[in-house]
Amino acid sequence: MPCLWSYLPNMALVRLFLSLALFGAAMSGWLGKSAEAQSPRGWSVCNHTSYVIQVASGRPEGSGTVVEGWTKIRPGGCEVLLPAPLLPGAHYLYAETSDAHRGGKRVWGGDENLCVEGEVSFAIESLPDCNVMGLDVRRFRPVLVESRTRWSTTIRETNKYTLDRASAAGVQRLMADAGVFAGAIDGNRGARTGAAVRGFLRERGLDPETNDRDLIDILEQLALDRARNVGLTVCNRTDGRVWTAAGRRNGDGWESRGWWLLEAGGCARVVDEPLLQTEHFVYGELETENPEKVRKLVRGSDTFCIGRSKFVIPGRDNCAASAYRSELFVATEIPRDGKLVFELFERDFGPVDVD
């Protein structure tokens, strides 16, 4: 993919207003379609989002399903997950964002539980119990493949980027994640973003003609290094899915934020900046077999407000007056060097909520 950053400053580009409400599967749109003319042979997946994603897929084999992963797909990129000939019928797809991105993982998935293995490459035949084999569970979405030669699936976010705009937006997002430059994430190759890219390449002694693909890899690694050294990370050490929220004092007073979805064994960075040397607070709800009931985190000590959907709530008083719910959050240890990992175990959750 060519680099366009160096010759766009004099172009008059229309700037899109970016309005994203992203969390979990709610952020995504899926489109399975035949694309005989455009797609390579096999089942390909195209990333029309501004995030680097890791993808796992499931295919029918005999009476079972073989799950394979992980395939990295850069913003604006397409990858073949399964070469032709294809076996028409139900396949499965799961995708999650790279740990380089701030704000916790975004997930594209469904309701089909299949086994995966950590962050390494794997191929697993369908198993009745993932935990027995030390494997993780992810919820995949069915994809109906209707061709033996070519099939394409598109992964989108709320802002429906073209592939080129997704690539540009991916560079913009990773520059913010890496702390290089904080500008609009809109997929426009405008003057400010172009100048920031050229300045970054020059300061690093990199080729000014570096293409988007290589630039994305460089920025992702930089953002990953940064992510390991700052912030509050919450990890789910249970066998189920946990929804978590965080509370803290910032420059304007108290605030609470949520929700982050933590798959079994998964983690999310819920605060993306160096932590103050003071307690932070965590709340969680563990899903049960009954979708109407949850197990709440126990031993909480400090009240914060929470919302039903994704929320950022200033203050921690009079929750009900603002149509929020109040819950007790658990205090963390005092962070060291601006970072902290907080783990949630099965024993940390009480009995099923009967309210």
pLDDT one-digit tens code per residue, 289-308:
888 899 999 999 999 999 99
Same domain, 223 and 236: no
Which of 108, 140, 156 finishes a domain? Answer: 156
Same domain, 260 and 347: yes
Same domain, 169 and 151: no
Same domain, 144 and 174: no
Retrieve residue 327's tokens: 């819950």
Retrieve residue 56's tokens: 């796992």
Which of 109, 134, 156 finishes a domain? Answer: 156
Q: Would you say residue 41 lies in a domain?
A: yes
Same domain, 185 and 209: yes
Predicted confidence (pLDDT) per residue in 42-53, tens digit: 999 999 999 999
> How many structural domains compose the chain?
3
Predicted confidence (pLDDT) per residue in 320-346, tens digit: 988 999 999 999 999 988 889 999 999
Q: Would you say residue 239 lies in a domain?
A: yes
As a whole number, mean pLDDT of residues 125-146 equals 86
Q: Which amino acid is at 17?
A: F
Q: Would you say residue 320 lies in a domain?
A: yes
Same domain, 220 and 235: no
Q: Would you say residue 344 lies in a domain?
A: yes
Same domain, 141 and 174: no
Same domain, 79 and 109: yes
Q: Which of 140, 135, 132 is nearest to 123 (CA)?
A: 135
- Specify the higher pLDDT residue, 310 or 94: 94
pLDDT at 39: 65
pLDDT at 3: 52
- Containing domain of residue 319, as a range? 231-352
Same domain, 186 and 292: no
Sequence-distant (6+) residues with CB within 8 A of 154 are 29, 30, 31, 33, 45, 46, 48
Helix (H, G, I), strand (E, B), or coil: what is residue 68? strand
Q: Would you say residue 19 lies in a domain?
A: no
Same domain, 308 and 340: yes
Percentage above 90 pLDDT, the chain: 62
pLDDT at 128: 77
232, 258 in Cβ contact below 8 A?
no
Whether the pLDDT of residue 25 is over 50: the answer is: no
Burial of 161 (C-beta count, 10 Å sphere; 0-12/13-18/19+): buried
Q: Would you say residue 294 lies in a domain?
A: yes
Same domain, 341 and 242: yes
Same domain, 171 and 260: no
pLDDT at 23: 31
Whether the pLDDT of residue 102 is over 50: the answer is: yes
Q: Would you say residue 178 lies in a domain?
A: yes
pLDDT at 238: 93
Percentage above 70 pLDDT, the chain: 88
Can the peptide bond before residue 108 be classed as cis, meaning omega within 30 degrees of 0?
A: no
Which of 185, 201, 227 finishes a domain? Answer: 227
Confidence grade of residue 24 (pLDDT, cut at 50, 70, 90): very low
Retrieve residue 122's tokens: 């794997």
Predicted confidence (pLDDT) per residue in 163-201, tens digit: 999 999 999 999 999 989 988 999 999 999 999 999 999
Can the peptide bond before residue 259 be classed as cis, meaning omega within 30 degrees of 0?
A: yes
Rounded to two decimals, what is the model's pTM? Answer: 0.71
Q: Would you say residue 35 lies in a domain?
A: yes
